[in-house]
Amino acid sequence: MPRQLHFFERPSRFVAGTVGTPGERTFYLQATDGTRTISVALEKQQVAVLADRLEQLLDEIVSRTGTALPAAAPDNDALEQPVDEEFRVSAMGLAWDGDAGLIIIEAQAPAEDSETAEATLLEDVEDGPDALRVRIEPTRARAFVERARRVISAGRPPCPLCGNPLDPAGHVCPRQNGYHRGVTLNP
């Protein structure tokens, strides 16, 4: 089946965001350029891993080039509406194009088998799973990391005993032997 590659060269916007209330949020990567917007769904943990790996790559770029990255303006705007899910991400790739000075991020739809996914990630091939590929400047990548971390931390607070997310009504805490732990406000 022909692969659909959604390619964005220096998009005007590339962000992680959510739709829904804490505990029921769906996470998205969204790339926008002009009137074209592509949104792909992924798991909260995938956003966290992408932010961590991007930060490691950025630190390595700074270390090797000896050039500090200027701060980027924060993007606090909501996702572009309507959010139409193109596909759910199963694999991601990250690379540095030193000649162009750009970071390449690819999010890929599920493949028929893992070998196909590995062989097509960050490659220009005609067959394979659909993918979103963006090429962004390091300062834009730093802004992506900062926003992704804010989006992740905006969820439900963790239980102080077990670390699992607390719902407004509390939760069944495994550290309390299955007893219901309610939310306690500071007196």
pLDDT tens digit string along 75-98?
999 999 999 999 999 999 999 999
> What is the structure's pLDDT at 138?
94
**Segment 103-136, tens digit of pLDDT:** 999 999 998 876 766 778 788 888 889 999 999 9
**Segment 143-156, tens digit of pLDDT:** 999 999 999 998 87
Residue 176's pLDDT band, with cuts at 50, 70 and 90, is confident
Q: State the architecture of 5-155 in CATH terms.
A: 2-Layer Sandwich (3.30)
Q: Phi, psi (5° rounding) for residue 166?
A: -95, 130
> What is the structure's pLDDT at 158?
79
Residue 159's pLDDT band, with cuts at 50, 70 and 90, is confident
Kindly list the domain boundaries of the chain, sorted by start residue: 5-155, 158-187
Residue 185's pLDDT band, with cuts at 50, 70 and 90, is very low
- Find the DSSP H helices in the chain: 44-65, 114-120, 138-153
- How far apart are alpha carbons 81 and 183 in whole angstroms? 34
Pairing mode, strands 36-42 and 26-33: antiparallel
> What is the structure's pLDDT at 23?
83
**Segment 7-57, tens digit of pLDDT:** 999 999 999 999 998 888 999 999 999 999 999 999 999 999 999 999 999
Q: Phi, psi (5° rounding) for residue 150?
A: -65, -40
Task: With CA atoms as reference, report the closest residue to 11 among 138, 137, 139.
Answer: 137
State whether residue 133 is helix, strand or coil: strand
- How far apart are alpha carbons 104 and 96 in whole angstroms? 6
Q: What global pTM score does this model have?
A: 0.84
Task: With CA atoms as reference, report the closest residue to 129 among 84, 95, 86.
Answer: 86
Pairing mode, strands 91-97 and 171-172: unpaired
- How far apart are alpha carbons 12 and 8 in whole angstroms? 9
- How far apart are alpha carbons 87 and 75 in whole angstroms? 24
